[in-house]
Amino acid sequence: MFTNVPAPLPDECLRSYGYRVFEENKRPIKMTRNLLQDLHRASRLSIDHLVRHHTHLGYFRFVSEKYFDQEISRHPDLHTNRMINAGLTPSRTANYCPKCIEEDCDFHGLSYWRRSHQLPGVNHCSKHSVSLYMVDPECLIRCQPSQTKKFSGRRHAIPLSERDIYFNSKLIQRFTTLSETALDQTTSIKQDNITAVFHARYKQISTGDFNIFTSDSLENLPTSWRLHLSKRTTSYDAMLGSLVRLINSAQAPYRTQQYLLIMAMLWENPDEALNECISKLNCNEDSYCSSAAKDALEDVLRGASITSACRKHGVLIKDFDRALQNFLRHRNDLTNMMAS
């Protein structure tokens, strides 16, 4: 099928690699519906290797209810190629570093698209500390990054006026470290568990008048950075609201970048944040009970209404119901034990 097959380059996106292989063999990449399998056969590299080192699947499923504790090699996308064929990257744009391109052209004789430059909210190259360029995601299968000047719409990921605040922000530095770690994650963290850890940490550090979500740490960050993180929640208040809901409910929607942002806000040390969240990996279903839902349940047992208790602690009814079922199950176990 292919006579000339170059090797993939370090951290190269699968679609970037696919573009180079198809181009080399004078075949349009759009012909394939199974890019992963085609490249596996052409390169003789294992699917596992290609997935771990050249796709964003680890990042996409960093926090997951469905694939919790499952190896990345069990992801259904390996069969459907949905994310890969749709050209999805987490940031939904194609980004590159101008200095990496210069080095790659000198060293490899060509330029290519890196996975670590496609992470939402990581708008700089962590090797060169410069703003990335952003272009249409279709460029990933149309050209090398060094050839994007001919396409309109190229722009800096960090506007000139926001660079000082961006590069001086410790929160963004922590967020970058966490995002790059999530990229290489091979098993996911369970959504329920991570939310319970967040809630406990949030309560621990939000003492007295101090509340991390009403502090100005997020408000003072560049507007464009917030936009890159969440396209739908553009305002500061809307973003805060969605973060608080994420902390208080195990049923929040799955978006890796928002979980990473909360970790960067609640812990000064990214390693500590990861260790705290991953140490809960072995929690089983029976031991689960969201901390916020437990607090709401305690209020109800003291006489509060379910609606007011859930509203006070920011808990969804289905999370409350889960905590109640858990409580009743343990109470019945105790009753049976005492009767026997």
Residue appearing with tokens 């194609």? 94
The verdict on 172 binding Zn ion (CB under 5 A) reads no
DSSP codes joined into one string, 97-166: -HHHHHHHHHHTSS---BGGGSSTT--B-TTT--BPEEE-GGGGGT--GGGGGGSTT-EESS-GGGHHHH
**Segment contacting Zn ion (CB under 5 A): 19-27, 42-50, 91-99, 330-338?**
91-99
Instruction: Considering the complex, state which of residue 5 and residue 130 has its C-beta at the smaller distance from Zn ion.
Output: 130
Q: Is 108 in the site for Zn ion (CB under 5 A)?
A: no
100 binds Zn ion (CB under 5 A): yes
Of 97 and 182, which CB lies nearer to Zn ion in the complex structure?
97
Q: Which of 51, 57, 83, 125 binds Zn ion (CB under 5 A)?
A: 125
DSSP 74: G
Nearer to Zn ion, 111 or 188 (CB): 111
Q: Which of 35, 63, 84, 97 binds Zn ion (CB under 5 A)?
A: 97
Residue labelled with tokens 């176990």: 333
Among 99, 108, 203, 331, binds Zn ion (CB under 5 A): 99
Query: Which position among 33, 127, 318, 330 is part of the footprint of Zn ion (CB under 5 A)?
Result: 127
- 56 three-class SS: coil
Min. distance of Cβ 106 from Zn ion in angstroms?
13
Contact status, residue 105 vs residue 146, Cβ threshold 8 Å: yes
Residue 334 zone, left/alpha/beta (φ > 0; ψ -120 to 50; rest): alpha
Q: Which is nearer to Zn ion, 100 or 243 (CB)?
A: 100
Please select the residue that binds Zn ion; options are 41, 128, 154, 163, rule is CB under 5 A: 128
β-strand pairing of 94-96 with 155-156: unpaired
Beta strands in the chain (DSSP E): 94-96, 133-135, 155-156
Q: From CA 229, how far away is CA 227, in angstroms rounded?
A: 5
CA–CA gap between residue 114 and residue 327 (Å, rounded): 48
Name which of 155 and 331 has its Cβ closer to Zn ion.
155
Q: Using CA atoms, how far apart are residues 248 and 262, in angstroms rounded to an integer?
A: 12
Distance spanning both ends of the chain, measured CA to CA = 71
User: CB of residue 226 vs Zn ion: minimum separation in angstroms?
Assistant: 23
Taking CB under 5 A as the rule, does residue 203 contact Zn ion? no
158 is a site residue for Zn ion (CB under 5 A): no
User: Least distance in Å: CB of 118 to Zn ion?
Assistant: 13
Residues numbered 313-332 forming contacts with Zn ion, rule: CB under 5 A: none
- The span of 5-13, 82-90, 95-103, 108-116 binding Zn ion (CB under 5 A) equals 95-103
311 binds Zn ion per the rule CB under 5 A: no
Q: Residue 299 is encoded by which pair of tokens?
A: 């209020």
- Tell whether residue 189 is a contact of Zn ion (CB under 5 A): no
- Least Cβ distance, residue 91 to Zn ion (angstroms): 16
Residue closer to Zn ion by CB (options 53, 128) is 128
Are 113 and 140 contacting, i.e. CB atoms less than 8 angstroms apart?
Answer: yes
| Size of site (CB under 5 A) for Zn ion | 6
Tell me phi and psi for residue 60, to 5 degrees: -60, -35
Phi, psi of 138 (to 5 degrees): -60, -25
- Residues found near Zn ion in the complex (CB under 5 A): 97, 99-100, 125, 127-128
